[in-house]
Structure 1
Amino acid sequence: MGATIKEIFTLYAWEYLMINEGKVPTNHKKVIDAIINCRTDVYGITFYKCEGCGEIHTSFRSCGNRHCPTCQDHKTKLWTAKQLSKELSTNYFMITFTVPEEIRDFFLQNQKEAYSALFKASSDSIKESTQKSRTMSGATTGFFGVLHTWGRQIQYHPHIHYVVPGGALNIKKQSWISSSKDFFLPIFQLSKLCKDRFKTLMKNKGLLHQIPHVVWVWERGWNVNIQSVGSGRNTIKYLSRYVFKVAISDYRILKVQNRRVYFKFRSKKTGQVVTTSLEVLDFIKRYLLHVLPSGFMKIRYFGFMHTSFNMEYKDIRLIIDGLVAVLNKPVKPIIQKVFISCSACGKEMKFMFSILPNNIRIRGSSG
């Protein structure tokens, strides 16, 4: 049976902190503390009552830290349900922008500025390419992006996945312009636009001189990948596994032996499951590389998916659904209820109250 990240941090994080005394950022220390104390009496206890059998259940409260692998499952389910309920009846694409290896150290040292600039440069590239498109010019696209900072071996590998409905909204004509199912936007154009915009943003922030002078980084295109994924359902479910997770989940950890953490990953080249290992303190270090700056938003919405867009989302759906109806394709909206189930009978449990460490009682609607 494999070890958990919580167990690894509990046993070895103190050693990591001692060896790196004075070098560990405050937000990293907070994450270490949260992971170790999650689901313990440090955060209090919650009481639930089953609506089916009436049994009372108790549970230690989770830490709520977004970098903790223990307590994010419910958030993942809620986010997934919300996104699936907003799925549009059109073909979807996933567009991925990856940071060149030569400037990843710069990203690591300037995370807040670099991540924000990557979001800005890549999202603007999608918008501008849409406007330059022969078929979608003058229309507005909508999409959301999720920042990931890790690769399969939990190495530092920042990239952004965008989920994009295949088409754009013509507001004046109240119509939807569908793209081809196999082609959305030209990769070369997106790559060049993103690279040039990122360089300009770094220059405006006075950070360009910190980026290593590697000629090809600015002369060649950056890595952009576009995949046609059919409905948005599978892509949303795929991303949901990572939106509220960091780097690696417990199920991938096989064991800790002789101060080495053994874990599995799927090889990108062969597709086979491979086992590798890291010295335990190196494992902790790699895990903490993916702690985001405080308050940083790793999920962002753009175009007609942004909350400030001047048209109700339900009206956008009606426009697209109208086109789908004309094409005789049935619309199947997804409504998924998320709740905590009773371990005894499987029915929904209602929150009663929580007792916090300072003995403050928080009551629920059921009293």
Structure 2
Amino acid sequence: MKTKKQPESSHTKHQSTGEWEVADIFHGYGEAYRQEYPLPYDHQKVMKAIMTCRTELLGGHLQQCDSCGFERLVFHSCRDRHCPKCQTTVKARWLEARQTELLPVAYFHLVFTVPHELNMIALGNKKEIGTLLFRAVSQTLLEFGRNPKNKLGGKIGFIAILHTWDQKLLDHFHLHCLIPAGALSPDGSTWIHPNSDYLFSVHALSVVFRGKFLDFFKRAYQENRLSFVGKTETFSTENAFQNLLNCLWQKEWVVYCKPPLDEPKLILEYLSRYVHRVAIANQRIINVSNGNVTFTYKDRQNNTIEECTIKAVEFIRRFLLHVLPKDFMRIRSYGFLANRSKKKDLTRCKELLGVKAAPSKMTSTRDLLKEMFGIDITQCPQCTKGKMLNIKEIQPLSETYTINEVFTMFGQADTS
């Protein structure tokens, strides 16, 4: 079965944009990766979803322009949250919903980072360590908000998003938090503005965050909620685990606060890029050939865009490091933005800040994508005047194929 024509020494570019994709790397080098590393079921599921996304394997529609008669095949998306080319509509709706919650105040962008000494344990315990990280950060921020000594003395609100990667796709566990500058008073009668250009002392936040996380971490160990396998097995004994705790207590944990933003839409748009996908966008992949992958990354120290070239198998290994546990929520809201209290508290915050309640509306997918990203999904690409209409449904070829069959269907690049 042919889905993409295979070049002799490298894999094919995306047909519509001319860009390389993560799917191309999986197509060309997934089998080579499997020969070198174990491939657990959750990784197989992600690879299969990305490899079959928008191909005839998933079915789709034949569309025709109502003006010039141009026809095209449009295949279904995999909708996997790890897929770099999926979730555009979901992302747009998330961004639209968050924009309706914005308040007319400055916003702070805080980043809480776990020391790299914990990375290997975190990779083997993603759900548990991720949960501890959310709990430690949320309790730290909410307590600082309630404490009058920290200049507010009320209920703050914030969105927290878990990232597990750095610009080179290596493991780097941290939470991004977007926080409005201010708090709702305990009796709900006043909006409390901060009396300085910063929200809380990052050093004080770091100390409390470290204490809470390590307390939760120690408790998880004592209750046998942590798994120690492979290279982390050495930490399973009480003495080794205590030595690790001592090392982590001695480190200064990183909490970074960017200058307050008067236009929070900008940081929302930045965060939205990572809300419904993981690790890397296809646009950053600039070449796949001869067993190597070249992609761009941002050098934050020099504020420059650089290129990184690694083996394709290593690229796959790094990408799969960030597969999330099933049903794990990597976006969470707290305080007056928490789902259980948002309707009452956020409405009150808007009233106190003089924000008029906007009528709720359900924007169509077409209008939403056009407004957010300038994409008209119904416009004919040929004449740009007509609208593309579905004229025939294409049934999926199969829904029961295995990862082995997918590798066989798409073929593999010559990686010898």
TM-score by length of 2: 0.76
**Other-structure match for 1:363:** none
Structure-2 change in CA distance of 1:278 and 1:134 (3 Å): same
User: Offset of 1:317 from its aligned partner?
Assistant: 1.4
User: Offset of 1:75 from its aligned partner?
Assistant: 2.0
Cα pair 2:60 2:73 within 8 Å, conserved: yes
User: Offset of 1:61 from its aligned partner?
Assistant: 0.5
Tell whether 2:405 aligns with 1:341.
no
**Other-structure match for 2:338:** 306
**Other-structure match for 2:413:** none
Cα pair 1:129 1:189 within 8 Å, conserved: no
Q: 2:32 aligns with which of 12, 15, 20?
A: 15
Distance in 2, Cα, partners of 1:346 & 1:149: 44
Cα pair 1:166 1:181 within 8 Å, conserved: no
Cα pair 2:112 2:175 within 8 Å, conserved: yes
Larger mean CA deviation between 270-279 and 172-181 belongs to 172-181
**Other-structure match for 1:26:** 41
Q: Percent identity?
A: 29
Q: What are the superposed Cα offsets for residues 275-306 of structure 1, whole Å, 9 maximum, x if unpaired?
A: 11111100000000011111100100101111
Cα pair 2:161 2:175 within 8 Å, conserved: yes
Q: Which amino acid aligns with 1:341?
A: I
**Greater percentage in strand:** 1
Larger mean CA deviation between 27-36 and 266-275 belongs to 266-275
Distance in 2, Cα, partners of 1:57 & 1:292: 34
**Other-structure match for 2:75:** 60
User: Offset of 1:34 from its aligned partner?
Assistant: 0.5
Structure-2 change in CA distance of 1:160 and 1:240 (3 Å): same
Q: Which has the higher contact order (CA 8 A, sep 6+)?
A: 2
**Other-structure match for 2:255:** 224
Structure-2 change in CA distance of 1:341 and 1:215 (3 Å): same
Cα pair 1:341 1:347 within 8 Å, conserved: no
**Other-structure match for 1:318:** 351
Distance in 2, Cα, partners of 1:317 & 1:354: 47
Q: Which amino acid aligns with 2:159?
A: F
Q: What are the superposed Cα offsets for residues 309-358 of structure 1, whole Å, 9 maximum, x if unpaired?
A: 17153332122226xx9xxxxx9999985145323247987889966538
User: Offset of 1:190 from its aligned partner?
Assistant: 1.3
Larger mean CA deviation between 36-45 and 338-347 belongs to 338-347
Structure-2 change in CA distance of 1:277 and 1:332 (3 Å): farther
Q: 2:319 aligns with which of 287, 300, 316?
A: 287
Distance in 2, Cα, partners of 1:132 & 1:88: 22
User: Offset of 1:147 from its aligned partner?
Assistant: 0.5
Larger mean CA deviation between 129-138 and 250-259 belongs to 129-138
**Other-structure match for 2:102:** 87
Larger mean CA deviation between 224-233 and 129-138 belongs to 129-138
User: Offset of 1:44 from its aligned partner?
Assistant: 1.9
Where do 1:232-247 residues align within 5 Å?
A: 232-247=264-279
Larger mean CA deviation between 160-169 and 258-267 belongs to 258-267
Distance in 2, Cα, partners of 1:333 & 1:256: 48
Q: Which amino acid aligns with 2:199?
A: F
User: Offset of 1:74 from its aligned partner?
Assistant: 2.2
Q: Which amino acid aligns with 1:316?
A: C
Q: Which amino acid aligns with 1:357?
A: P
TM-score by length of 1: 0.85
Q: 1:119 aligns with which of 134, 155, 163?
A: 134
Question: Aligned to 1:182, what secondary structure does the other structure show?
Answer: coil
Structure 1 unaligned blocks of 5 or more: 326-330, 361-367
Cα pair 1:191 1:223 within 8 Å, conserved: yes
Tell whether 2:149 aligns with 1:134.
yes
Question: Aligned to 1:229, what secondary structure does the other structure show?
Answer: coil
**Other-structure match for 2:10:** none
Distance in 1, Cα, partners of 2:307 & 2:104: 40
Q: Which amino acid aligns with 2:143?
A: E
Tell whether 2:166 aligns with 1:151.
yes
Cα pair 1:43 1:356 within 8 Å, conserved: yes
Cα pair 2:58 2:397 within 8 Å, conserved: no
Q: Which amino acid aligns with 2:252?
A: G
Structure-2 change in CA distance of 1:173 and 1:108 (3 Å): closer
Distance in 2, Cα, partners of 1:168 & 1:105: 37
Distance in 2, Cα, partners of 1:139 & 1:52: 59
Structure-2 change in CA distance of 1:266 and 1:46 (3 Å): same
Q: Could you say what the CA RMSD is over the residues aligned between the two structures, in angstroms?
A: 3.2
Cα pair 2:66 2:387 within 8 Å, conserved: yes
**Other-structure match for 2:21:** 4
Q: What are the superposed Cα offsets for residues 100-123 of structure 1, whole Å, 9 maximum, x if unpaired?
A: 011111111111100010000011
Structure-2 change in CA distance of 1:271 and 1:346 (3 Å): farther
Cα pair 1:142 1:168 within 8 Å, conserved: yes
